[in-house]
Structure 1
């Protein structure tokens, strides 16, 4: 997340840019067409700051590093998924997370299951006591 926080005037200025889909206090969402065009221009030799300035962005507002990091991310997406990577929602898809490195024995699994059962039973008892206390208070 960016350290830059956009004020109301800056957000309105960014939202008026046709290459912007939406703006929050800290983030700018760009249109897929702009991302594709920016990556292609960058691969043809244009620098990130030049691309952003030519497309109506004030680098004093968004920061030059934001332009460079955005183009860098977009190039990686373009190399792996092509133009289609920008046209479909991908958040949350394909994330494998960190795979577990340890193999759990059946004894350990049983031990964990028993501990969870014990915890849930204690939680149920607590809820029953709370309900009883609430009934007593109502009387």
Structure 2
């Protein structure tokens, strides 16, 4: 979150912007459409400050670094997950962030199970060796 705090007047001005979903005293939540638009504008060669200014944001209110830091996050999300990622919540209780186990093929499930078995077997071997070392230490003392 930003160190900048917005007063009531600034919050009302920001909320009037169609590219803003919601505003609190310390954070701005942008619409998914604006995020996609901003990333695509950036890809055409426009700078973060220019993109935000053209879309009705006063950089003196939101902070000079806000445009570039937000755009950097959005570009990463866009590159990794595509446009759809901006329309789904990936944080909190209702997130769909972690891939579902149901979507795995039978081969992948078997592969995961075999890896888990191998891990557990190695763990058992380690515990057996540890117990043996403890027994030897007791005999010596």
- Verify same fold: TM over 0.5: yes
Query: Equivalences for 1:1-139 in 2 at 5 Å?
Result: 1-92=1-92, 93-94=97-98
Q: Normalising by structure 2, report the TM-score.
A: 0.66
* Structure 1 gap segments, 5+ residues each: 96-102, 107-139
Could you tell me which runs of 5 or more consecutive residues in structure 2 were left unpaired when the two chains were aligned.
Answer: 100-122, 128-141
Question: In the aligned structure 2, how far is the partner of 1:19 from the partner of 1:90?
Answer: 20
- Distance in 2, matches of 1:20 and 1:91, equals 19
Aligned twin of 1:122: none
How many residues are paired up? 100
Cα deviation 1:28-55 (Å, max 9, x = unaligned): 0000000000000001100000000000
| 2:65 match: secondary structure | helix
CA distance in 2, matches of 1:37, 1:64: 20
When the two structures are superposed, what TM-score results if normalisation uses the length of structure 1? 0.67
Counterparts of 2:35 and 2:21 in 1: how far apart (Å)?
A: 11
RMSD: 2.0
Report the Cα offset of residue 89 of structure 1: 1.1
CA apart distance, 1:94: 3.0
- Distance between the aligned counterparts of 2:28 and 2:72, measured in 1? 15
